[in-house]
Amino acid sequence: MVGQMIAPTPPCPRWPLLLSLACAAAVHAADEACPPAADTPLPAPLALSEGAISWSSCHLSIAANGDTELSGDVRVSIGGRQMHCDRLSYIALTQALQLTGSVRYQDQTLRVTGKAGNYGSEGAQFSDAQFELLHGPGRGEAAAVSTRQANVIVLDRVVYTTCPKGQADWELRARRITLDTRRKRGVGHSTRVVFEGVPILYLPWISFPLTSDRQTGLLFPTLGSSSRSGAMLAIPWYWNIAPNQDLTATPTYYSRRGLGLGSEYRLLGNAGDATLRADYLYHDRLTNHDIDPTTADNRSWLRATATRYFGSAWRAQLNAQDVSDIHYFEDFGDGPQATSTTFLPRDLHASMRGDVWQLGAQLLQFQTLDDQLLAADRPYAELPRLSAAARWQGSSGLGSALETELTDFHRDTGPTGWRGHVQPGLSFDYTQPGFYLRPRASWDFTAYRLQDAPTANSTPSRSLPILTLDGALQLERNSGRAGARLVTLEPRVNYVYIPYRDQSMLPVFDSGLPDPNFVSLFRPNRYSGLDRIGDANNLTFGVTTRMLQARTGQQYLSATLGETVHLSQPRVTLPDETADTRRRSDLLANLDLTAYRNWNLHYELAWDPESSRTEKTLIALQYIPSGKQVVNLGYRYTRGSVGQAEASAAWPVGRHWDLYGRRIYSFRDRRPIETFGGVQYRASCWGLRLVLRDSVSSRSGQRDTGWYLQLELKGLSSVGSGADSFLQGSIQGYSPQ
């Protein structure tokens, strides 16, 4: 190959030289700064190259044995690797390059600057170097940097951080760190975690991610304390098993109780998903069986949820929980919501949904956590509940339906046994634009086979007709400028007739009175469950108005009023229920308003018109410009049981600070149920959260005070924190992502 004469480019005249694996050619240029070189044999092609090699420099000298010296703005390119230095020596015997003076090296994943380096068949080595990852935030300095394996970088006596240049707020100082850029994982040995110049943790071994992808390794520790359990330290470890599986194990130490372990396994697949959680504390040091035999020595909480799909129609669902003792949530629950838990479900359900038939099979049981609850008030286990339902709808509007159910009820106290239920029905659906009318007639038959029956009859039954007529209008018109808004008026009338049947001989397995709402208002049966069918001769009236954006359908306003008028007095009651002698039901009102920017208002009211008093009310006002900017105000009242006000907020203050808070006050108890406040500082590469909390922790009214402290070093882990989970569950609408 013949070289071509090229004039040098100021400010530094250069000798360009191109070598390939097959041949070498020299191109010389001359000026006063770099005199032309003599005709000299060129070195043999470099065996270490992975492709074309090119270099250029101001000066070139080649010895008889093939050793080559380049100096003055030396630039080398070998198989996609770029090197720049003041002086480069090629040793022909070892086929290696030695670089000195302002060394710079870059490949597809790494950029290095240092004083000296070597490059050969074993990769590149540099001393007293600074390094920077090109596909991640990691950077630092090391006494030695080597790339002996593809995609593997070994750093000796290293300082590593993900903070921006000039702002090393936290660092890993390690004897050795190995970075695997293909697996996106780093491993450190004999590592100190240094925060703001202060060593805060020593780890003989640490694994951390190089990107924000899910990676196996230790997560951020959480430090806290409570008046019941003492100081607490939790250090989660995350295992990225597969793209659709992971496991988080969290050893937790309580200074007053001992060492516990929490774990969470998650599986997500095309055929379903599953989550398994377990918390276990061996030999709780605060437990004393002599004082309270209802508290276990080894404390545990197990939870399993899973969904499995079998084709497009069949699926199985599991939701099961178990705790070691009834006081578990009082000692380990987060706030009054957990400590007020009365029952834990254990539910396995299989179902099929087709165009006509719907089949179901369920096993349901409960663990009761309230030892003050009478045995006769505890829920029945359903082992099993089998159901089948079908719907046929003709094109003329005539339709038919069939509902069946067979359940075996179990409990230690009271009547037990089987209940069978069949309800066939006929209906007609007359639907026109803006109007529908739907008469329906059905016959309900329920039979029992009982043990320990409440009467002498162990096989009681009930049979009665159910007649309903449901009709509604939907009127709408455009309003506003250019008809931008759509306003609707939707009146509805529902008539129900069910004759009286004496049902006092029937047991009560699952029936009760539901909370007053619009779903129960328009149901034919005023009771939930099948043990009681309330006699009825009722007219129910309701009206709804909505305001929508005409183009997108976004709802600005929804307001509803509804009430039932009893044309004859109901006579069927539950045991210990006082007969309702009112001619009119509670007046129900519901309002949802999202009309102004980021404001939301929800209001519910149940008002007794005969006594002119409120039976139930709920009002919730929310301002939410973003997931990190939330303010909630609320009030809930139920006559005779609940009277609470609540306020919560999460709000950024300035560029780096966030404030959190929540307070629930009970007017019945005349004291707060829960109060917590928190603060977070967010820097470019770290964050600090502190949450202080005081709450009712037991049914007897005992209180628990505690705090959480969490330091987040960004880039050292990629999975969310316990403090974030606590705040998301406590402040409605808060989402830090």
Task: Decide if pLDDT at 394 tops 50.
Answer: yes
pLDDT for the residue numbered 604: 95
**Tally of structural domains, the chain:** 1
Residue 98 lies in a domain: yes
Burial 634-645 (b: 16+ CB within 10 A, else e): bbbbbeeeebbb
Per-residue pLDDT of 288-325, as tens digits, reads 655 566 677 889 999 999 999 998 899 999 999 999 98
pLDDT for the residue numbered 329: 86
**Collapsed DSSP state (helix, strand, coil) of residue 722:** helix
- Residue 722 or residue 7, greater confidence: 722
Per-residue pLDDT of 703-717, as tens digits, reads 888 888 888 887 776
Per-residue pLDDT of 256-293, as tens digits, reads 999 999 999 999 998 999 999 999 999 898 886 555 66
pLDDT for the residue numbered 696: 81
By DSSP bridging, strand 536-549 and strand 587-593 are unpaired
**Collapsed DSSP state (helix, strand, coil) of residue 655:** coil
- Residue 327 or residue 20, greater confidence: 327
pLDDT for the residue numbered 18: 33
If you average pLDDT over residues 92-112, what whole number do you get? 87
pLDDT for the residue numbered 290: 55
Residue 306 lies in a domain: no
Highest mean pLDDT among 190-194, 446-450, 612-616, 678-682: 446-450
Per-residue pLDDT of 518-574, as tens digits, reads 888 899 999 999 999 999 999 999 999 999 988 888 888 999 999 999 999 999 999
Residue 71 lies in a domain: yes
Residue 74 lies in a domain: yes
Phi, psi of 671 (to 5 degrees): -165, 160
Q: How many CB atoms lie within 10 A of CB 209?
A: 24
Task: Decide if pLDDT at 601 tops 70.
Answer: yes
Task: Decide if pLDDT at 40 tops 70.
Answer: no
Residue 175's identity, in one-letter code, is R
pLDDT for the residue numbered 67: 86
Task: Decide if pLDDT at 39 tops 60.
Answer: no
| CA 272 vs CA 312, 363, 373, 620: distances in Å | 12, 20, 37, 36
Residue 131 lies in a domain: no
What mean pLDDT is reported for the chain?
Answer: 85
Nearest to 363 by CA among 379, 386, 388, 341: 386
- The pLDDT confidence band at residue 339, using thresholds 50, 70 and 90, is low
Task: Decide if pLDDT at 49 tops 80.
Answer: no
Per-residue pLDDT of 490-519, as tens digits, reads 999 999 999 999 999 999 999 999 888 888
The percent of residues in the chain predicted with pLDDT above 70, rounded, is: 89
HSE of 74 in the Cβ direction (CA atoms, 13 Å)? 24
Instruction: Supply angle C-alpha 196, 200, 202, rounded to 5.
Output: 130
pLDDT for the residue numbered 9: 34
Picking from 352-361, 365-374, 484-493, 629-638, which range would have the lowest pLDDT averaged per residue?
A: 365-374
What span, in angstroms and rounded, lies between the C-alpha atoms of 384 and 445? 20
Residue 63 lies in a domain: yes
Provide the whole-model pTM: 0.76
Burial 484-512 (b: 16+ CB within 10 A, else e): ebbbbebebebbbbbeeeebeebbbbbbe
Phi, psi of 332 (to 5 degrees): -125, 0
Contact yes or no for 42/62 (Cβ under 8 A): yes
**Collapsed DSSP state (helix, strand, coil) of residue 520:** helix
Residue 77 lies in a domain: yes
pLDDT for the residue numbered 646: 95
What span, in angstroms and rounded, lies between the C-alpha atoms of 588 and 562? 5
Residue 97 lies in a domain: yes
pLDDT for the residue numbered 37: 39
By DSSP bridging, strand 587-593 and strand 629-638 are unpaired
- The pLDDT confidence band at residue 729, using thresholds 50, 70 and 90, is confident
Nearest to 65 by CA among 88, 90, 39: 90
Nearest to 532 by CA among 482, 577, 581: 577
Per-residue pLDDT of 127-175, as tens digits, reads 999 999 887 788 899 999 998 777 788 999 999 998 888 888 888 999 9
pLDDT for the residue numbered 29: 33
Picking from 17-31, 401-415, 490-504, which range would have the lowest pLDDT averaged per residue?
A: 17-31
Contact yes or no for 542/523 (Cβ under 8 A): no
- Residue 184 or residue 421, greater confidence: 421
Residue range(s) defining the domain that contains residue 85: 1-106
| CA 419 vs CA 361, 415, 505, 527: distances in Å | 15, 12, 14, 17
If you average pLDDT over residues 362-367, what whole number do you get? 95
pLDDT for the residue numbered 291: 58
Dihedral sign from CA coordinates of 622, 624, 627, 630: negative
- The pLDDT confidence band at residue 200, using thresholds 50, 70 and 90, is confident
Task: Decide if pLDDT at 197 tops 80.
Answer: yes
